[in-house]
Structure 1
Amino acid sequence: MNKDLDTQIKEALKAYLASGVEEQVDYHKFYLYSIVTNSTAIEGSAVTEVENQLLFDEGITAKGRSLTEQMMNVDLKDAYLYAFKIATENPTYTPQLLQQLSALVMRRTWSEYSTIAGHFDSSKGEFRLYNVSAGIGGRIYLAYSKVPHAVDNFCEWINEEIAKIDKSDIAACYRLSFEAHFRLVTIHPWVDGNGRTTRLVMNMIQRQLGLVPSIVRKEDKGEYIQSLVDSRENDDSTIAQDMMLRHHISNLKRRVLQYQEGYGLMNDNVNSVGVKLTNTQRTIYKLIQANQSIIHSEMAKALSVTSKTAERATKALRDFGLLGREGSDKTGRWIILK
């Protein structure tokens, strides 16, 4: 477990809430649309956030997108609206509630299955009645006969943990939500929609605990999936927790920077030294001001650029006399030169 991340999430969330970013008109609605778009994108949807906004708000379908992937987004949006509503009521997690959430996720893209063990319907959130694996040659998930008992145990565990957690411990609350996601997706209760439903449950727990919901961005799909695999193979869920926490910190910082730059609210020390910077250089300078231990790969992810681009930007900032460096590339830190 990376304890530095626990400190960073507290600082990032504090800065996010203090920035005023959430005070924008319809911000929470568009944040929800971003959660939905990225979650379905991880499952193969190509619908963009702009296309989803038109679909959700205006009923305008996107050209070149299949009906199935558009309905997948509509279903998930409706499931989130319901989940976030009941999250404010401090719900008790039961197998029936989880099935209800899964049924909402699969409402328009459901399938029925007939197996030796019986018939089940994904539109009703019914648990799978056959065994599944993670792709060809992939890990075999829990035997279907053990799923009901495993879900019962999961619900008992999460209810107990939520009841006793200190809600002022931001890092512990986020880690609990990430742990819940990992445990439930590892059980793999349904034949389809496991990723969307378990991320939904994760975000619902976060809302229940008073947190800003985290987004697993489509750009981070590979690292996200690998962190789940590594956690299972090493029997260490903190691998996935750290990955999720690290990316949530970056997302919060990214949104604050975008808001400040868009509304001209940057308290920009760069201008005071008379240097004209590119947008990339300027944003990376702000990232370093916020976290002087940040490394190039983290800058690259925050800006959706390559590590080489981030390296060129920090070199330029050092050449301009704005930055210094002490220690190695991996364990050192940046020095802000006034």
Structure 2
Amino acid sequence: MDKNLDIQIVEALKAYLASGVEDQVNYQKFYLYSIVTHSTAIEGSTVTEIENQLLFDEGIAAKGRSLTEQMMNVDLKDAYLYAFKIASENPIYTPQLLQQLSALVMRRTGSEYSTIAGHFDSSKGEFRLCNVSAGIGGRSYLAYNKVPRAVDDFCEWLNKEIAYVYKTDIAACYRLSFEAHFRLVTIHPWVDGNGRTTRLVMNMIQRQLGLVPSIVRKEDKGEYIQSLVDSRENDDSTIAQDVMLSHHIANLNRRTLQYQENDTVNLHPDTVNDTVNSQNDTVSELKEGLKRIYIAIQKNPEITHSQLVEIFNISESTAKRATRDLKKLGYIEREGSDKTGRWVILK
């Protein structure tokens, strides 16, 4: 166990919360969308965060994406909304609760199975009645007939750990959530959706303990999966804990720095409208957020709203509101269509 990481997570979380990043309009919603997008991406989804935002908020399907992967994202989003709701109620973890969460995750993409051991339905969160292994030639998971007892033991362990962990010990709380994820995914209770469901449980525990939920980013997929393999092979779960903790520290630091550099909170509608209502016409008098958008357009008059979303980590509606207000102020105007046109600099 890397004790230095325990110190770093406290510092990273303190800086993250002190920055005010969570005070941004709709930040919690878009952070959840990020969790969902990355979790499904690890399982093969190609839907982007922007596409998920449009899918979740506007009901606009992503072009070129399969219906299955889009439904995978919708189901996981709904499962998270439910899990985060009950996390605030200090729930008791039971096999039935875990099956309920899995059923939400697999609601539209689950299937019915008939095996020698019997019939089960993954869309209902039912435990597998067949043996599974990790890929071709991979290590076999627990025999299906041992799953119910293993899940019972897991729930008993988890409830006891949550009851006795010191809520003020941030590192210990995060390590508990990572340990729970590792233990449950190692049991592999379901025939499908184990990764998504066990990461959901991990985030639910974090939310219950008052922590900022961690994101397993698709860019870290290889190291994340290898850490789970190494932990199993070495019978040492701290390997996975350290990797996931280091990834979370890096993500918190990345988001804090991004917020401080871009100051996107100044794109709040109220501050934008304050700028629009002012009488100053010079760039220096623009609110910082609008100024950054304006400078980006100056540098690239063909920049799109989607690109502004990526650069400044804002919603598409916020990007459109900013360009609209820049037009009202007389700084820019649009020439041509939204897709093939360009911005014209007026000042």
Q: Which amino acid aligns with 1:193?
A: G
Pairing 1:243–2:243 present: yes
> How many angstroms does 1:10 deviate by?
0.4
Please state how far the C-alpha of 1:263 moved relative to its aligned partner: 1.3
**Residues 270-315 of structure 1, C-alpha deviations (whole Å, 9 max, x = no match):** xxxxxxxxxxxxxxxxxxxxxxxxxxxxxxxxxxxxxxxxxxxxxx
- Displacement, 1:110? 1.0
Q: Please name the residue that 1:161 is paired with.
A: 161
Map of 2:189 onto structure 1: 189
> Cα deviations across residues 212-258 of structure 1 (Å, max 9, x unaligned)?
00000000000000000000000000000000000000000000111
**TM-score when scaled to structure 1?**
0.78
Name 1:143's counterpart in structure 2.
143
1:257 equivalent in alignment to 2:257: yes
**Residues 41-190 of structure 1: pairs in structure 2 closer than 5 A:** 41-190=41-190
When the two structures are superposed, what TM-score results if normalisation uses the length of structure 2? Answer: 0.76
- SS of equivalent to 1:129: coil
Tell me if 1:20 matches 2:42.
no
Q: Would the alpha carbon gap of residues 231 and 167 (structure 1) be closer, same or farther in structure 2, given more than 3 Å must change? A: same
Between the aligned partners of 1:130 and 1:83, the Cα distance in structure 2 is 27
Tell me, in whole angstroms, the C-alpha distance in 2 between the residues paired with 1:33 and 1:176: 24
Q: CA deviation at 1:132?
A: 0.3
CA drift of 1:168 comes to 0.1
SS of 1:91 mapped into structure 2: coil
Q: Distance in 2 between matches of 1:108 and 1:262?
A: 38
Indicate the structure (1 or 2) with the bigger Cα radius of gyration.
Answer: 2
1:310-321 equivalences under 5 Å are: none
RMSD of equivalent CA atoms = 0.8
In the alignment, the residues of structure 2 paired with residue 110 and residue 20 of structure 1 have an alpha-carbon distance, to the nearest angstrom, of 40
For residues 140-190 of structure 1, the C-alpha deviation after alignment (integer angstroms, 9 at most, x for no partner) is 000000000000000000000000010000000000000000000000000
Quote the Cα distance in structure 2 between the aligned partners of 1:263 and 1:150: 48
After superposing on structure 2, the runs of 4+ consecutive aligned residues of structure 1 that deviate more than 6 Å are: none
Which residue identity does 2:36 align to in structure 1? V
Residue pairs, 1:207-226, within 5 angstroms: 207-226=207-226
C-alpha separation in 1, matches of 2:263 and 2:229: 41
Q: Residue in 2 aligned with 1:199?
A: 199
Residue identity in the other structure for 1:189: P
Letter in 2 for 1:219: E
Give me the whole-angstrom Cα distance separating, in 1, the residues matched to 2:264 and 2:123.
47
Instruction: Provide the rounded CA distance (Å) in 2 between the counterparts of 1:242 and 1:145.
Output: 32
Tell me the equivalent position of 1:36: 36
Structure 2 CA distance for partners of 1:247 and 1:146, relative to 1, 3 Å: same
Q: Unmatched 5+ residue regions in structure 1?
A: 266-338
Q: Secondary structure at the match of 1:168?
A: coil
